[in-house]
Amino acid sequence: MSRLSYYLLPATILLLIVTATAAATSPPPIPKFTGILVFGDSTMDTGNNNHIPLAVFKANHKPYGGNFPLGHKPTGRFCDGSLIPDMVAGRLNIKQAVPAYMDPDLTDEDIRTGVVFASSGTGYDDLTAAIAQAIPMGKQVEMFREYIGRLAGVVGGMEEANRTVGGALVLISSGTNDFVDNYYDLKIRRLVYDLGQYQDFLLAKVEAFVKDIYSLGGRLMVVSGLPPIGCLPIQMSASLELNPHHRSCIQEQNSESQSYNAKLEKLLPELQASLPGSKIAYANVYDPLLDIVTEPQKYGFEETRKGCCGTGLLEAAFLCSPWSPTCGDQMAAKYVFFDSIHPTEATYRVLADTLAGQLLSVYSPPPPPSPSPSPSEKLRSVYSPTPSPSPSPSPSPSPSPSPSPSPSSPIYF
């Protein structure tokens, strides 16, 4: 070994180690979506209900919106600030807020990058939407069809519109109102279905909805499961436990949420397999929200059993009014729930921070077909002498392509 090689070898080894370590710890690249399209209920609605005169549930008044970053004013979001669609769009570098499709002030750029079709109070069950005078999920599909026509006018034709829709991230979150309104509190559907039958009825609706979105060109979908319904403050109140010190999650309702989620998680990969070119991921909101509720101190929260608005036991929508006392915009960050149903912006941000990695793992581009040598292999190549060529070398096999992510990999929001 020459003197120069003697000095260069340690530096070469160190460089290889540093390079390999940096590659191993680099975050996955942010997926490139053409836009974001959002369907569902009040966890997704950024203001559509503002434009429905008879809608029962609206959040276009104070105290909603006090922490919303663009203006600190009510927007129709059932929250003190931003919702999950806004946060996801921001993380994906699409835009900082996703507007409602029914907003009369939509710009061409809004149409190009995506909108929200969701409606507060709706569900997969049309009866749920009828009770709340909300937009049924089927009507949201029709709005989506109309949107595609508007998009074609913005982007220069149907071919480009179809490309945009096919490359957009589609978020779907619904089902909670079906159980709360129709099964637990009003008990209308209990007269017709037992629990398992009602779950299967709703899952058939989910399947039909996903197929409708697919038929219109949607390919990259995320379908949310149920939260721990028994931990919503309004459900604790419905059990007639109004003493804040004695309130706790209703375990039976939580177990039933879990059993529905298990069925949904099984259904989605089957749907994906039947819809060529689709990628349909399950969003597990149950586990992270339950962890926040049961161990709030880990996340900086102090109140889990009531909302920030009014008494926090029953107030939501028109009951959470401009005249309702609140915990205050600053103190809202210490509350898991803003009203008796909906999380605070702080809760949504914890969910996003905790679970966004799953989105990257599912939708980031796959690794190249030929993996780079491991650090140990690189080091062996530095130390090992070059072997003599074999007289009759056999052809090297072609590398197998890296597998794509499992269709049943859960994704969290």
CA gap 75, 58 in Å, rounded: 10
Any domain includes 61? yes
Confidence at residue 1, expressed as pLDDT on a 0 to 100 scale: 52
312 φψ region: left (φ > 0), alpha (ψ -120 to 50), beta (else)? left
Question: What DSSP assignment string belongs to 329-393?
Answer: TTGGGGBSBSSSSSB-HHHHHHHHHHHHHHHHHHHSPPPPSSPPPPHHHHHHHHHSPPPPPPSSP
pLDDT band at 20 (very low <50, low <70, confident <90, very high): very low
CA gap 269, 279 in Å, rounded: 9
Q: Phi, psi (5° rounding) for residue 362?
A: -85, -40
CATH number at residue 55: 3.40.50.1110
At 198, list the tokens: 């009602």
The CB density around residue 251, as the number of other CB atoms within 10 Å, is 11
Any domain includes 409? no
Please check the confidence at residue 11 and state whether its pLDDT lies above 50.
Answer: no
CA gap 346, 363 in Å, rounded: 25
Higher pLDDT, 372 or 125: 125
CA gap 75, 65 in Å, rounded: 6
Please check the confidence at residue 399 and state whether its pLDDT lies above 60.
Answer: no
Q: What is the extent of the structural domain holding 281?
A: 36-228+249-296+344-363
Any domain includes 27? no
At 161, list the tokens: 């519109």
Confidence at residue 365, expressed as pLDDT on a 0 to 100 scale: 65
Residue 29 burial by Cβ neighbours in a 10 Å radius (0-12, 13-18, 19+): exposed
At 77, list the tokens: 């979001």
pLDDT band at 385 (very low <50, low <70, confident <90, very high): very low
Any domain includes 397? no
Any domain includes 411? no
Question: Which residues have a catalytic role annotated?
Answer: 42, 339, 342
Any domain includes 96? yes
Confidence (pTM):
0.84
Helices 251-274 and 286-294: crossing angle in degrees, nearest 10, is 150
Please state the domain count of the chain: 1
> What pLDDT, in 10s, does the model give residues 222-255?
999 999 999 999 999 998 876 766 799 999 999 9
Please check the confidence at residue 184 and state whether its pLDDT lies above 60.
Answer: yes
**Lowest mean pLDDT: which of 5-9, 129-133, 183-187, 224-228?**
5-9
Any domain includes 23? no
Any domain includes 315? no
